[in-house]
Structures are given as structure tokens and as C-alpha cells.
Structure 1
Amino acid sequence: MVQGEPATPEHISYALFYISQTKGVNNTLRSAIRAAVYLVRELAISAIADTVVKAVSTSIENSVITAISPQIAKILTTANKLEKINENTDLLNNNLNHMPPPTIHTPYRDALAMTATNSNQIPLGKRSSPEYTKAHAAVKERQLLIDPSSNHPTLNDSTSRESMIEAIK
């Protein structure tokens, strides 16, 4: 041991071990000294382990906090955005629930004029096959367009589809 420096458990265990090796120490005393050496070593190892655990755990905590703080900030930002979206959705739902249902009184002829053309349909005159021309002419001859008006006694907006079909037949 170095004089003037504090004794560590390691120093004490070495000193006791060498004392136990000197001449004139009987076996019983030697066993007692060696038991004390092992107890001092266990105490030293426990103290060192605690010191290492404290140092490492603090370092790990700081590293983990540094690593996950950007993700936590993103999660909080996303949560705020979702809250705003939910509020806007609730507001829209409330507005939709308080709106009266739309009333549409567009004549059938105007509704046909507003419909988009089918991109798969081949316009007349674009295909020169005589079979196509005959089929298209037959369909045109059998078409029936009905424009129910609100003041017609039989065919108006309140007439059911089945009643209209029966009246036309």
C-alpha cells in the first residue's frame, strides 16, 4: 500500500492475502484472513458494478432521449394536425346535417344533354361497317324519350317508375 493515499478494497485484499502467506500464521487464522479477503473483494466488485451501472445508465438515457426527441416532436405535430382535421370534419358534418336536401327539377332532356359521352362508344360515321350502321339505325328507331313535366296529369315527378311503364304500354 502507498502511504498517504486512501486504501481501496483492492489494496486491502492484497495486503490481507500477503499477511496470510507469512510464517507463523496457523491454518485457522489463514482461513479467516482469506475469508475476509474474499468478502472485501465482493464488496469492491459490488461498488465498482454500481458505479459502472450509474455511469452507463446516465449515458444511455441521454443517448436515447437525444435519439427519440425528433420523432416525439413529429408525433406531437402529427397529433395536432389530426386534431385540427377531426375538428374540421366535425364542423363539416354538422354543416351537412343542417343543410336542406337539394331539390333538382331538371327536365329529362336537359339531363341527357349534361351527361358525359361514353369514351367506348363509337360515334356514327366513324365506323364504316354496314352491320354497325344497320344495328345503330335499329336502336335509334326503337328509342323512346319521355320528358315528364310537373303539371302533366299522369306522368310527373311524383309518378313511380312502374306506373310510368304501365301508362306507356
Structure 2
Amino acid sequence: MKNIKEIENIQELLSELPEFKYQKELTKKLDTKKDDFTYETVLEIVLWKTNRFADIDPDLILKINELRVEYNEVLADDILIKLLESKGFDLPMASTFLRFINPNYFQIIDQRVYRLLYGENLNIPFSQPKKIELYKKYLIDLKQVCFEYEISFSESDRILYLLDKHPEVNMEQKIKY
């Protein structure tokens, strides 16, 4: 491992460095911020550092709010597709958004809940259609389990998460992320 003092041609290497493009838009926004920091600023910095800043089209936010008012399966499918296409989103994050949009129809797909349902680790497929298929099957199976064991579907992600952590269930099992 080289430290900076051991690099003989440092000036040459410095002149060849590419433009810093990490989280380009957010970096620019944070670099040029002149007003007071807010809680939102703090969250943006945390998301910048963890590379989890989501880039969502304003039209998608309108659709999300529309779905919050009234459930529509076609609109829900469109939102799921758009979320999966957005930077910073994979199925767990997209399902988290959907769950907060309407917990009566959507729940978070989670490693712990998944292994309680199926007895195996969650492996998220690469292709978008397979992710959607996996999530829809998960919701159907989750609803069935909730009906069978008299668990509130709207709280099932939380209830089953806690059940998986129970000392008599899977507390000793490591989660594979």
C-alpha cells in the first residue's frame, strides 16, 4: 500500500484524474448550499455519504400521492416499475415506499419475513419483470399467512419481522444481505 509520499509522479497523476462525478447533482446542491442547514440537509448528506440518494421524477411523486388517495392496481404497477427504474431503488426500497403509500395493499419485502414465509433466504432476481413477479407472489402468500394466523396484513411486515427475531424462532440465524 502506497502513501502519498511514496508516489513519485504525483503531479502527473493528479493532472490525469477524471472529473468527480459521485452523486453529481446532489454534490453540486450540497457544495453550493448557502442557507442554513435543515433536517432535510442532514438527511441528504447522510444519503450522499452512503450513496443511497434516490433520484425520483416529480411526475412519479404525483402518481404516488394519487395512489395514496385511492388504490388502483394499474397505477400501483406503474409506480412499482418506475421506482425500480429509479436510481437508488431495488425491490426492498421500492416495496418500502409502497408500504408507506398504502399498507393495506403493500408490505415491505424483507429478509426476515421472507424466510419465515418460505424457509429460505431472499434472493432478488436481476431482471425487473422477475422482481415484480417475486413481489406480487410474496404479497399473495403474505396475505394468505395473515389470514391463516389472524395477523393484521397492514402490520404484518413489522409483526413477522419481530417474530423472526424471537428467541424461539430464528434469533440465532444470521441475515444475509
TM-score by length of 1: 0.19
TM-score by length of 2: 0.18
Larger Rg belongs to: 1
The structure whose residues are more often helix, as a share, is: 1
The one of the two structures with greater contact order (alpha-carbon pairs below 8 A, sep at least 6) is 2
